Amino acid sequence: MQGIFAASITPLKPDFSPDLDALPEYLGFLASRGCHGALILGTTGEGPSFSPEQRMAIYQSALEVRQVWPEFLLLAGTGTPSLDETQDLTRKVFELEFDGVVVLPPFYFRDSSEAGLYSWYASLLNQAVPQGRCLFAYHIPKVSGVPLSIDLIARLLDTFPDQFAGLKDSSGDPQFAQRLGDQFGDDLRVFTGNDRLFSLALARGASGCITALANLIAPDLRQLWDMYHTGQSTEAIQEKIDSVRDITERFPPFPPLIKFLLAHFFNYPNWTVCPPLTPISQETEKQVSSLLDLA
């Protein structure tokens, strides 16, 4: 469980329903561009916008990518504020033979105690994650409003060494990335969620990346990965990746931006996004397409 993972977008029809026929082909596109796998229904995939029934249909559709790419790894975003709903989704995902789950903390009660967060994750791990299967906590405090502390991560790893696999770190905090590597080393699988920190994270023992920009620049991320693991300098390719990140971060949020860029540069339909997100404006389209060249 390592390498380049795209935080995949979710193709949608004009009525905001999932385009289940389009998803497997799109995941094949990611595989063909060097991704080892994809996270289905993370932040970029608009996971919290879908009902449990829609999520299950999307998970099942994603599995079809393995008919052409049998080694393609699949992670599922299953986190919701409801412990029961999260447990149910997580059980079903493992029954579908997904390779792991990436789970947001319960994000409604943002002043929850660390003891409460531990109890929530411990219940999920006990009730829904079989021995030897992979659960990754999702640390994205700017979005979830619920940070995951080093102490909480250490406690979960100590209690559930065979199920609590690691962390998707989308904090964008280089000091936090360094602390993860310094404290846990190879005992914790860390996937950075910020392309700008990819080289730093790898140097601190990270297992790879799970990023929105892998939808667009997977070949560059894969090149960095391969160069790092063959002992070559990654400075130049990291600078190239940084420049794309610097531009795209000027036009948040990522889901509608990436869907537009996929249409503009790779001839995909300009898929819509679920409300409350809205497509980017024509003015933004002109600005970002004039600044980027992804062909």
Burial, 229: exposed, middle or buried (Cβ in 10 Å; 0-12, 13-18, 19+)?
Answer: exposed
Please confirm, yes or no, whether 168 is among the known catalytic residues: yes
By C-alpha distance, which of 11, 63, 10, 57 is closest to 37? 63
Please confirm, yes or no, whether 142 is among the known catalytic residues: no
* DSSP result, 35-73: -SEEEESSTTTTGGGS-HHHHHHHHHHHGGGGGT-TT-E
Annotated catalytic residue within 108, 142, 278, 286: 108
pLDDT in tens, the chain (295 residues): 899 999 999 999 999 999 999 999 999 999 999 999 999 999 999 999 999 999 999 999 999 999 999 999 999 999 999 999 999 999 999 999 999 999 999 999 999 999 999 999 999 999 999 998 999 999 999 999 999 999 999 999 999 999 999 999 999 999 999 999 999 988 999 999 999 999 999 999 999 999 999 999 999 999 999 999 999 999 999 999 999 999 999 999 999 999 999 999 999 999 999 999 999 999 999 999 999 998 7
Please confirm, yes or no, whether 121 is among the known catalytic residues: no
Annotated catalytic residue within 44, 86, 168, 259: 168
Q: Are the C-beta atoms of 244 and 195 separated by less than 8 Å?
A: yes
pLDDT digits (tens, 9 = 90+) for 156-194: 999 999 999 999 999 999 999 999 999 998 899 999 999
By C-alpha distance, which of 45, 98, 51, 56 is closest to 75? 98
**Every domain of the chain and the residues it spans:** 3-291
Interatomic CA distance for residues 169 and 173, integer angstroms: 9
Q: Are the C-beta atoms of 148 and 167 separated by less than 8 Å?
A: yes
Instruction: For domain 3-291, give its CATH number from 1.10.10.10, 3.20.20.70, 3.40.50.1110, 3.40.50.150.
Output: 3.20.20.70
Annotated catalytic residue within 10, 43, 78, 248: 43
For residue 91, give both structure tokens: 């059980």
Stated as kind and residue range, the H or E segment containing 209 is: strand 208-211
Annotated catalytic residue within 59, 121, 138, 268: 138
